[in-house]
Chains A and B, each alone.
Chain A
Amino acid sequence: MSGVAIVGVGQTTYRRSHPDMSSRELIWAASKEALDDAGLSIRDIDVVIAGVAPDALAGEASVERSGIMGIGKPYVRVNTGGVTGSSTFFAGASYIKAGRAKAVLVFALERMGQATTSQQVFNTIFDPVYEKDFPLTTITMAALRASMLMRLYGYTEQHWARIASRSYQNARRNPLAHLHLDVSPEDVLKSPLLAWPIHRYEACPMSEGACAMVLMAKDSIGARKPVWVQGYASTSDSYAMGDRIHRPEATLVDLLSLRLSAEKAYKEAGVTNPVKEIRVVELYSAFSSAEAMAYPALGLCKAEEGPRFVERQFTDPSLPAFNPSGGPQGANPVSATAMVRIAECALQVRGTAGDRQVDGVERAVATGQGGATQFSTVCVLGKNPVH
């Protein structure tokens, strides 16, 4: 088996829409930047893996096909909803680990700026017979979880607001972010209520853009500066939310799929004390409650300590930095968001994250979250390969 490293990262800016660029141009812009970063051309790539989530968001079918690169090479599309970006990355890593490729280009594209309303589309991801007529959307789905967290563990609206405000402030240091807003916790609480307890400024925006990375086998890296993929894992849970509320393994807000993924990825990476050994955590947390659910699942605190863990983040510099890029609050190009998390971790580990760079990053963790909070991914990156 071959070790896998990230040797190139490319991202477009993330905006509400890119009316000046076709899907093909967005794909190429991110991919060219990643290839240039790696010092490679498309001819050097063995396999191309594309990630695009629901076609309905773009109102265009199979947009990735028009942007095909490296014609003649293996080229496939992954679609796993919110975790599309990380699933695509993992699929590319598998080709290298299997020895079927030396260099793989992975990219993820989101064109949801072409959708009139994302929530109308998201209503159609649910069961068409029983749930579609019920006003279930990703926002109301998150609100159900947030209220459960408040009841079980004592989170308050203030906690949600502080998490959201922190992400907005971080996004101001990220030139690629979609939103650069000076939002305080009070501003979050004053913003319109979408579905209690979620306010507008707690919800992620609709963003367009593309992210790409070049992965390379250990024995091909040469003089490039690698970021090592130390461990990764993906787990799918039951679709039925009702079945997840009272089952013995975990409740709905325990994020069992993320916990199982973290355990596996940490084991691969040799992480035994995550709160000490991980400096940066880039979370796919489209809402503050999603971030709170991730803390215990990632082994960073116990579930009942969650509210206090939020408060400690503002006073204890030894804790990991959460979403220094601004996370999905700063930009949420759904198909790409989970890949952006990995890309941002790679920049942090490499020390090239610009104004959003966190000091002393030896290891970083990126998560992905999708479906009815049922698809979870964890990816551990570090300065050193795992032996």
Chain B
Amino acid sequence: MATHKPQVFIDSAALEISWRDERRNLSELIFDTVRRAIDEGGAGMTGINSVVLAAHDLVDGRSLSSMVTAPAAGAYLRDEIRYGDDGAAAFAAAVVRIEAGEAERSIVAAWGRASEHDVDSVSRALFGPLFGTPLGLEELHVSAMRAQSWIQAGGQCDARAEAVARRRDAARANPRALRGAGSASQPSYPLAPDDLPRWADVVAAVIISSRPGGPRVTGMGQSSEPFAIGDRELAAMPGLARAAQQALAEANVAAGNLDVVEIDGLTLFDEALAAEAIGVAAKGEGLNTLARDRRVNPSGGSAAGYCAPAMGLARIVEATLHLQGRAGTNQVAGARRAMATGSSIVAAQTHTAIVLEGI
């Protein structure tokens, strides 16, 4: 980053993953998590003059989600903007605001409540009303196509069972992971039930600031891919590769020197391809890396609970907690540098990569 820009630090982070909590409505879930992030920051609302949100109307079941929910995220009489995009993209936008001198401290929050909507129906609606939706195409089908393309291109599946077991064990060890049922979709070949995300209600929140404190944002990258699935390179994630390269270059760090890599991938195979795109796995070795490299997704990834568009910010929260030494039973010892990624609709069409460095 240019030296004249304010540096950006993460004061605090909070994440709650639950399922069908009948005691709290969506606004209350948001309020509780944002409040926790503010309290953990130790400075209250002092200096907070920006609120950046990520939420989808279709997921929230409200035609203008942030109208009712933004105040619960601390937006009252503050500069607030809502992205209909992934939480990591909202995080990047909040960082940009501080770098631009437009904000001093900012709340960033993202959420999705899978227990309140039909995830598969919403997914089908994303593909265009003339051709995609009538075909019944869903984002998980694209993940299946991606997995198949990757296998055909020489992707190694020898360690698949090991990767599944490690992801499941990591999620079990993660104190923030979904406890209880959640729900799941039907897998499409070659995906199996254990490869899929566990749908959950997810709220993530961080407080970022220009004042030195917690982990520093040292690199950011963003990129995009074509809308049409036929136009994409399915056996790779070139958009994520561009975003990650940009973030790593800005942070002046090599992928191999990252201590923690929290990847937002819808399925096990998406996580494997993402690991390759980021550069922590060699081409075709993504599943092997997920099986054996403890740096990658210590949270358990999408097995720990998943609902768009909160997941990029959820990954940032996990990375932050590792850098703060507060990740709990799944803590990566001595973590100093971390990357978190976020991908958005439609079927990982846009990507954000964030590099963080502990103080």
Is B67 a contact partner of A100 (Cβ separation < 8 A)? no
Is B96 a contact partner of A95 (Cβ separation < 8 A)? yes
Does A60 count as interface, using CB distance less than 8 angstroms?
yes
Q: Which residues does chain A contribute within 8 Å of B75, judged by CB atoms? A: 236
Complex CA–CA separation, A104 to B349 (angstroms): 19
A 37-53 binary contact with B (CB < 8 Å = 1; else 0) = 00000000001100011
Is B81 a contact partner of A53 (Cβ separation < 8 A)? no
B 75-94 binary contact with A (CB < 8 Å = 1; else 0) = 11111111111000100010
Complex CA–CA separation, A105 to B276 (angstroms): 31
Tell me the smallest distance from the CB of A69 to a CB of chain B, in Å: 9
Complex CA–CA separation, A55 to B25 (angstroms): 23
In the complex formed, the residue of A with least CB distance to B102 is A94
In the complex formed, the residue of B with least CB distance to A57 is B63
Complex CA–CA separation, A126 to B69 (angstroms): 11
Q: Which residues does chain A contribute within 8 Å of B263, judged by CB atoms? A: none
Which of B148-156, B159-167, B184-192, B220-228 lies at the interface with chain A?
B220-228
Is A76 a contact partner of B81 (Cβ separation < 8 A)? no
Does B43 count as interface, using CB distance less than 8 angstroms?
no
Tell me the smallest distance from the CB of B95 to a CB of chain A, in Å: 8
| A68 touching B126 in the complex, CB below 8 Å, given contacts A76-B222, A81-B67, A374-B67 | no
Does B99 count as interface, using CB distance less than 8 angstroms?
yes
Is A94 a contact partner of B77 (Cβ separation < 8 A)? no
Tell me the smallest distance from the CB of A383 to a CB of chain B, in Å: 23
Is A71 a contact partner of B226 (Cβ separation < 8 A)? yes
Does B125 count as interface, using CB distance less than 8 angstroms?
yes
**Category for how many chain B residues contact A:** 35 or more
Q: Which residues does chain A contribute within 8 Å of B227, judged by CB atoms? A: 65-68
Does B129 count as interface, using CB distance less than 8 angstroms?
yes
Does A122 count as interface, using CB distance less than 8 angstroms?
yes
Is B66 a contact partner of A234 (Cβ separation < 8 A)? no
Q: Which interface residue of B63, B70, B345 has the most chain A CB atoms within 10 A? A: B63
Complex CA–CA separation, A61 to B126 (angstroms): 5
Which residues A67-121 have CB closer than 8 A to chain B?
A: 67-68, 70-81, 87, 90-91, 93-95, 97-100, 121
B 1-33 binary contact with A (CB < 8 Å = 1; else 0) = 010110000000000000000000100000000
Does B100 count as interface, using CB distance less than 8 angstroms?
yes
Does A156 count as interface, using CB distance less than 8 angstroms?
no
Tell me the smallest distance from the CB of A75 to a CB of chain B, in Å: 4
| A235 touching B25 in the complex, CB below 8 Å, given contacts A60-B129, A99-B2, A122-B63 | no
Is B99 a contact partner of A99 (Cβ separation < 8 A)? yes
Q: Which residues does chain B contribute within 8 Å of A87, judged by CB atoms? A: 81-82
Does A206 count as interface, using CB distance less than 8 angstroms?
no
Does A260 count as interface, using CB distance less than 8 angstroms?
yes
Is A79 a contact partner of B70 (Cβ separation < 8 A)? no
Partner of B100, one of A1, A48, A53, A125: A1
Does A277 count as interface, using CB distance less than 8 angstroms?
no
Q: Which interface residue of B5, B67, B101 has the most chain A CB atoms within 10 A? A: B67
| A238 touching B76 in the complex, CB below 8 Å, given contacts A68-B226, A121-B63 | yes
Is B62 a contact partner of A128 (Cβ separation < 8 A)? yes
Does A176 count as interface, using CB distance less than 8 angstroms?
no
Is B64 a contact partner of A76 (Cβ separation < 8 A)? no
Does A372 count as interface, using CB distance less than 8 angstroms?
yes
A 230-243 binary contact with B (CB < 8 Å = 1; else 0) = 00011111111000
Q: Which residues does chain B contribute within 8 Å of A122, judged by CB atoms? A: 63
In the complex formed, the residue of A with least CB distance to B98 is A98
In the complex formed, the residue of A with least CB distance to B224 is A75
Complex CA–CA separation, A56 to B57 (angstroms): 8
Does B97 count as interface, using CB distance less than 8 angstroms?
yes
Which residues B44-68 have CB closer than 8 A to chain A?
A: 51, 57-58, 61-68
In the complex formed, the residue of B with least CB distance to A80 is B82
Does A369 count as interface, using CB distance less than 8 angstroms?
no
In the complex formed, the residue of A with least CB distance to B242 is A72
| A237 touching B77 in the complex, CB below 8 Å, given contacts A53-B64, A76-B89, A374-B67 | yes
Does B136 count as interface, using CB distance less than 8 angstroms?
no
Does A124 count as interface, using CB distance less than 8 angstroms?
yes
Tell me the smallest distance from the CB of A68 to a CB of chain B, in Å: 5
Is A125 a contact partner of B64 (Cβ separation < 8 A)? yes
B 335-359 binary contact with A (CB < 8 Å = 1; else 0) = 0000000000110011000000000
Is B223 a contact partner of A77 (Cβ separation < 8 A)? no
Does A127 count as interface, using CB distance less than 8 angstroms?
yes
| A371 touching B67 in the complex, CB below 8 Å, given contacts A72-B242, A75-B350, A238-B76 | yes
Is B225 a contact partner of A94 (Cβ separation < 8 A)? no
| A71 touching B81 in the complex, CB below 8 Å, given contacts A56-B63, A98-B5 | no
In the complex formed, the residue of A with least CB distance to B94 is A94
Q: Which residues does chain A contribute within 8 Å of B328, judged by CB atoms? A: none
Tell me the smallest distance from the CB of A122 to a CB of chain B, in Å: 7
Complex CA–CA separation, A48 to B129 (angstroms): 24
Is A94 a contact partner of B100 (Cβ separation < 8 A)? yes
Is B5 a contact partner of A239 (Cβ separation < 8 A)? no
Is A236 a contact partner of B71 (Cβ separation < 8 A)? yes
Does B135 count as interface, using CB distance less than 8 angstroms?
no
Does A351 count as interface, using CB distance less than 8 angstroms?
no
In the complex formed, the residue of A with least CB distance to B69 is A239
Tell me the smallest distance from the CB of B101 to a CB of chain A, in Å: 5
Q: Which residues does chain A contribute within 8 Å of B239, judged by CB atoms? A: 72
Is B83 a contact partner of A78 (Cβ separation < 8 A)? yes
New A-B contacts (11) at CB < 8 Å, excluding given A91-B93, A121-B63: A68-B226, A74-B350, A80-B81, A94-B97, A94-B100, A97-B99, A97-B100, A98-B99, A126-B67, A235-B80, A236-B51
28 contacts between A and B (CB under 8 A): A55-B57, A55-B63, A56-B63, A57-B63, A65-B345, A66-B128, A68-B349, A72-B239, A72-B242, A79-B57, A80-B80, A80-B81, A81-B67, A91-B81, A94-B93, A94-B96, A95-B96, A95-B100, A97-B101, A98-B97, A98-B100, A236-B70, A236-B77, A236-B80, A239-B70, A257-B77, A371-B64, A371-B66
User: Chain A residues in contact with chain B, CB under 8 A?
Assistant: 1, 47-48, 52-57, 59-62, 65-68, 70-81, 87, 90-91, 93-95, 97-100, 121-122, 124-129, 233-240, 256-257, 260, 370-372, 374-375
User: Chain B residues in contact with chain A, CB under 8 A?
Assistant: 2, 4-5, 25, 51, 57-58, 61-68, 70-71, 75-85, 89, 93, 96-97, 99-102, 122, 125-126, 128-129, 222-227, 238-239, 242, 345-346, 349-350
What 4 A-B pairs have minimum CB-CB distances, sorted nearest first?
A74-B222, A97-B100, A98-B99, A79-B84
